[in-house]
Chains A and B, each alone.
Chain A
Amino acid sequence: GQNIDQPTEMTATEGAIVQINCTYQTSGFNGLFWYQQHAGEAPTFLSYNVLDGLEEKGRFSSFLSRSKGYSYLLLKELQMKDSASYLCAVKDSNYQLIWGAGTKLIIKP
């Protein structure tokens, strides 16, 4: 079967750095997405990785290792507004998106 694993919940301090990991086992790979979802709101796109390496976008970076079936989302200079769920999703060989259950990130002052 196809599987995306992420930690259920993480806690971090305002101003700090946090890394949210995602491991996947899918039938094929055609890209990996990270989305942010605030409670009661729609998911919004953060990043897309299709090649190995680090993609940086402001305070957020996303890393991919296809050989390890692994990605992480790195959030720097954490702000209270970063409290949200972070969803990892992989496009499989049929270009279907397989979603993880998300990691709830709690930021404390």
Chain B
Amino acid sequence: DTAVSQTPKYLVTQMGNDKSIKCEQNLGHDTMYWYKQDSKKFLKIMFSYNNKELIINETVPNRFSPKSPDKAHLNLHINSLELGDSAVYFCASSKNVVGQGTGELFFGEGSRLTVL
């Protein structure tokens, strides 16, 4: 039973298109995240939601819009895709909000986005 699942796993699209990535966790966690992992393998936080409320919103182009319909789901919509958006996007969840407990993260398998 997959704990954090995200779809699609692979996404190939043209510049200028709009795409969405969906994420769901069945761990009962309160906090969910979107990370971007670029070609140099750095993981960069993009957004974090706690109980459907946005708590972290890093410096990310406003073409990226997260949406959390409930605490088990966090989707990412990207408008007007650019070449530099090509990366692997990881969804993650943690039991506690940042600052509480260890904050161990559980990651989804990643969505590899390629913009042509």
Binding site for B on A (CB under 8 A): 30-31, 33, 35, 40-45, 48, 50, 85, 87, 89, 91, 95-97, 99-102
Q: A91: which of B43, B103, B107, B109 is its contact (CB, 8 Å)? A: B103
Binding site for A on B (CB under 8 A): 4, 40-45, 56, 90, 98-99, 102-110
Q: B109: which of A42, A48, A87 is its contact (CB, 8 Å)? A: A42
Q: A95: which of B42, B98, B105, B109 is its contact (CB, 8 Å)? A: B98
Which label, helix, strand, loop or mixed, suits the secondary structure of the B interface? loop
In the complex the two chains form, is B104's CB within 8 Å of A99's CB? no
B33, closest chain A residue (CB): A97
In the bound complex, how far is the Cα of B40 from the Cα of A85, in angstroms? 12
Chain B hits for A96, CB < 8 A: 45, 56, 98
Assuming A42-B107, A42-B109, is B45 touching A97 (CB within 8 A)? yes
In the complex the two chains form, is A48's CB within 8 Å of B43's CB? no
B43, closest chain A residue (CB): A99
